[in-house]
Structure 1
Amino acid sequence: AALPALDSQPAEIQRPLLTAAFTLYAFDAAPLLRPLLPRLAAPREFAIAAYALMQTRQPADLALIQSQLAQRDRDEPRLQALAQALATAQGVPQPARPPLADLLAIRPGYPVVFSFQRPGRQQMGLALVRQADGRFVRRADGGLFNIEQLALSSSGLPGTITLGNTPQGLFTIQGAGRAASNIWIGPTPYLHTKVPGEASVAEYEQRVPGADEPAWTLDRYRALLPASWRDYAPLQEAWLAGRAGRDEMLMHGSTIDPRYYVGSRFYPGTPSDGCLVAMEYWSPEGTMVHSDQIALLQAFTAQGRDRGYMVLVELDPAPTPVALAEVIQSVLDAEARAPGRR
Structure 2
Amino acid sequence: MYQLTSSALAAIAFFVVSATTPPTVKAQTPAIRAYQPKATETARKSQIQDQVQKANPSRFDLQKYPLTESNAPHWQDSLWAIGVLAPEKDYAVQALENILQMTTAPNLSDPQKGIIDTAMQVGMELYRIKPAVYGRLQQSFLNTVNSSNDPQWVALSLVALAKTGQDSPNSSSIAKLSLRVQQRFPNWSQDLYLRNTLQAVLGDRQLNENTTLPNLSDLLKWQIAPQQAHMYVLCRPNRDVLCVAILKDRNGKFVMQGKQLWSTPLLLQSLRNLDWYFTNGRTPQGIYRMEGVSLQPDDEVFHAYGQFSLVNLFVPFEDGVNAFLPNQKGKFAGNLQAYQALLPPSWRKYTPIQQTFWAGNVGRSEFRIHGSGAAIDFFQSKAMLVNPQNFDWNASLGCLSALEIYDKRGILLEADMPKILDALNTVGKGKVDGYLVVVDMPSTTNTPITVAEIAKYLSP
TM range (shorter): 0.7 to 0.9
- Structure 2 partner of 1:14: 116
Matches within 5 A, 1:299-310: 299-303=423-427, 304=429, 305-310=431-436
Match of 1:186 among 286, 303, 306: 306
Match of 1:254 among 364, 372, 385: 372
For the structure 1 residues 32 and 208, does the alpha-carbon distance in structure 2 shift closer, same or farther, using more than 3 Å as the test? closer
Question: For the residues of structure 2 that align with 1:231 and 1:308, how far apart are their CA atoms?
Answer: 23
Question: For the residues of structure 2 that align with 1:186 and 1:137, how far apart are their CA atoms?
Answer: 26
CA contact (8 A) 1:54 1:62 kept: no
- Structure 1 partner of 2:317: 197
* Deviations, residues 289-313 of structure 1 (Å, cap 9, x unaligned): 3321111122222231421011111
Identity rate of aligned residues, in percent?
Answer: 25
- Structure 1 partner of 2:215: 99
1:235 and 2:350 aligned: no
- Structure 1 partner of 2:440: 314
Range that drifts further, 256-265 or 272-281: 256-265
1:147 and 2:273 aligned: no
Deviation at 1:200? 7.5
For the structure 1 residues 5 and 254, does the alpha-carbon distance in structure 2 shift closer, same or farther, using more than 3 Å as the test? closer
Matched residues, number: 330
Gaps of 5+ in 1: 337-342
- Structure 1 partner of 2:327: 207
Letter in 1 for 2:265: E
Match of 1:69 among 149, 161, 182: 182
- Looking at both structures, which has the greater relative contact order when contacts are Cα pairs under 8 Å and sequence separation is at least 6? 2
Range that drifts further, 52-61 or 4-13: 4-13
- Structure 2 partner of 1:55: 163
Question: For the residues of structure 1 that align with 2:125 and 2:435, how far apart are their CA atoms?
Answer: 31
Deviation at 1:219? 1.4
CA contact (8 A) 1:151 1:271 kept: yes
For the structure 1 residues 300 and 218, does the alpha-carbon distance in structure 2 shift closer, same or farther, using more than 3 Å as the test? same
Deviation at 1:80? 3.6
Matches within 5 A, 1:141-180: 141-180=258-297
* Deviations, residues 151-178 of structure 1 (Å, cap 9, x unaligned): 1121011122111111111100111222
SS at 1:300's partner residue? helix
Range that drifts further, 84-93 or 157-166: 84-93
Letter in 1 for 2:352: P
SS at 2:273's partner residue? coil
Range that drifts further, 111-120 or 74-83: 74-83
Letter in 2 for 1:309: Y
Matches within 5 A, 1:130-145: 130-139=248-257, 141-145=258-262
CA contact (8 A) 1:21 1:52 kept: no
Letter in 1 for 2:441: L
1:82 and 2:184 aligned: no
- Structure 1 partner of 2:453: 326
CA contact (8 A) 2:370 2:402 kept: yes
Match of 1:46 among 124, 131, 154: 154
Match of 2:231 among 113, 133, 136: 113
CA contact (8 A) 2:316 2:333 kept: no
- Structure 1 partner of 2:37: none
Range that drifts further, 245-254 or 36-45: 36-45
CA contact (8 A) 2:271 2:395 kept: yes
CA contact (8 A) 2:199 2:207 kept: no
- Structure 1 partner of 2:142: 34
CA contact (8 A) 1:128 1:147 kept: yes
Question: For the residues of structure 2 that align with 1:320 and 1:90, how far apart are their CA atoms?
Answer: 28
1:224 and 2:342 aligned: yes
* Deviations, residues 271-292 of structure 1 (Å, cap 9, x unaligned): 1121001112234454433321
- Structure 2 partner of 1:339: none
Match of 1:244 among 353, 362, 365: 362
CA contact (8 A) 2:178 2:198 kept: no
Match of 1:274 among 386, 398, 406: 398
Letter in 2 for 1:43: P
TM-score w.r.t. length of structure 2: 0.65
Range that drifts further, 226-235 or 180-189: 180-189
CA contact (8 A) 2:102 2:116 kept: no
* Deviations, residues 97-143 of structure 1 (Å, cap 9, x unaligned): 1111112123253111111122241111111111122221111x221
Question: For the residues of structure 2 that align with 1:179 and 1:36, how far apart are their CA atoms?
Answer: 40
Q: CA RMSD in A?
A: 2.8
Gaps of 5+ in 2: 1-93, 165-169
CA contact (8 A) 1:110 1:131 kept: yes
Question: For the residues of structure 2 that align with 1:328 and 1:170, how far apart are their CA atoms?
Answer: 21
Question: For the residues of structure 2 that align with 1:226 and 1:122, how far apart are their CA atoms?
Answer: 29
Question: For the residues of structure 1 that align with 2:155 and 2:408, how far apart are their CA atoms?
Answer: 41
Question: For the residues of structure 1 that align with 2:338 and 2:320, how far apart are their CA atoms?
Answer: 11
CA contact (8 A) 2:314 2:321 kept: no
Question: For the residues of structure 2 that align with 1:230 and 1:89, how far apart are their CA atoms?
Answer: 19
CA contact (8 A) 2:238 2:446 kept: no
Matches within 5 A, 1:114-129: 114-129=232-247
CA contact (8 A) 2:211 2:352 kept: no
